A = this chain, B = another copy of it.
């Protein structure tokens, strides 16, 4: 298997936003920017805070297929991760993403019923550089 380019992880670390796509109930892709992931395990698992009541949660319950994209517009490079996503509320995941200050939005703290984790799991990475995409299995 080809080695993933060394500048992929720095690009992800530097990105001010992550762009996340799910598929809505009519089968259309829905894309929006998210704050950067609160935690990640290599290039395989990414953890974001979200609301139990968000559109994404409804989409993912029906269709878990998703895409996570990071890019640097100034250098025309991007990383497209293709995989699945789910809204999870297990204790370990909640503790992983919780940060001091979150109680401002979730007054009941980590157990607030609207506090949830968007967990994305990648299976393919596509690296765009010089308008030349290359795929890597994860």
Contacts and interface: CB of A to CB of B under 8 A. Distances in A.
A80 B20 CA distance: 12
A21 B29 contact: yes
A63 B126 CA distance: 20
A138 B32 CA distance: 19
B69 A28 contact: no
B30 A133 contact: no
Interface residues of A, number: 30
A115 interface: no
B33 A78 contact: yes
Contact of A128 (B22, B29, B32, B133): B32
23 contacts: A16-B73, A17-B71, A19-B19, A19-B31, A21-B29, A21-B30, A23-B23, A24-B82, A28-B65, A28-B66, A28-B82, A28-B83, A29-B29, A29-B31, A29-B67, A30-B80, A30-B82, A30-B126, A31-B31, A32-B71, A32-B78, A32-B80, A33-B69
